[in-house]
Homo-oligomer: A and B are copies of this chain.
């Protein structure tokens, strides 16, 4: 069997790269190093990720696992979910022959060091079987437990994988289930209602599933051509050919499968929301800038986004460069483009925009009570130039000019508008609007 190991670039093992790049789902900035207590796995676990689907149901030309949002294909999000689990050794992605190059390119571009790609078979079971056999031939030796998952379920979490793996080790097989969303009915051959099933007795079988290597390997050795051709359910093969009754574990709703085009929008919105929970406000330390940042922070309270105020990104605060997804540089006395340039350089050095776009916003206080024409323009060519260069490195830079006013009501309105604009820019992450200097 043809097995292609992804050749990683030499900068892949950069010690500055965080072990778990980027926040994901419930992990918040600054808390991503939290590990569930006593939850380490002391036997080898690997993953088979069948990704050969054609994605007919999305109504898109590209198979859905290769559709991108926020500049990255869906399958990379799924791979990331496994790569961040320290006790997972390797991930075999099974793709259609014609997608091998694309898959290799994705793995290299997003530095997925645990991934191997193998070509799929003509059916789902043949593809999974290829993946299992490839694991047996891997350098690491046979894993004790194999997780089988879908490339189009990007939101699987470590806690749940742990449960599946432990149950699989104990029982031979384990699988995720969910309550049925709709009533299931049996139809007559003429298309009429025959009977409806009692919903409480049945469950939807979902992914991930886990098997000891021996059980899944044996099941595929023994099963029939007809199983290979028409079957879909690995748990069923384990039962039929190894006598293994899988342990069923209820999973969270986030296990859902990206099936239709609308699901891609839903997945994008989940990622965007995760990236928009907090932002880091860099003040430079001056009293006026701290006051302004405090006013913004207050306005942000109503917008359901947390702001961390720091004077700079040095020393202890350098950790924000490794965890934050959104940076707001505040300045009261001058355009803050030089500070912003330093942030961009630091983020690039930390390779932080590899997996998702980062947002950097320069909030700049204009010096006049009235709209000042000269003050308002604040080096537009420069911010646009900086932004165009940053965009190539997946960092989205915007500017906001805040108009000072001695009229308290007008000032409050400006601060609120600045907070609303900032919040919208962070949530929407629009590449088309980079380099704009917005007015608050």
Interface residues of A (CB under 8 A from B): 57, 171, 173, 175, 177-178, 180-188, 191-197, 199, 201-206, 232-233, 235-236, 239, 245-249, 253, 256-257, 259-260, 262-263, 265-270, 371, 373-374, 376-377, 380-381, 384, 417, 420-421, 423-424, 428, 430, 432-433, 435-439
Contacts and interface: CB of A to CB of B under 8 A. Distances in A.
B246 A193 contact: yes
A184 B204 contact: yes
A371 B239 CA distance: 72
Given A186-B202, A204-B184, A266-B262, A247 B380 contact: no
B205 A57 contact: no
B196 A235 contact: yes
12 contacts: A178-B182, A185-B205, A187-B203, A191-B249, A193-B235, A196-B233, A196-B235, A199-B232, A371-B381, A423-B432, A428-B428, A436-B438
B182 A245 contact: no
Given A187-B202, A420-B432, 20 more contacts: A181-B204, A181-B257, A183-B204, A183-B233, A185-B202, A185-B205, A185-B235, A186-B201, A193-B239, A193-B248, A196-B235, A253-B260, A262-B267, A265-B269, A266-B266, A373-B373, A380-B439, A417-B432, A424-B433, A436-B436
B196 A205 contact: yes
B181 A246 contact: no
Given A180-B184, A374-B373, A377-B376, A202 B197 contact: yes
Contacts of A205: 182-185, 196
Nearest to A384: B439
A187 B246 CA distance: 10
Nearest to A207: B182
Contacts of A245: 188, 192-194
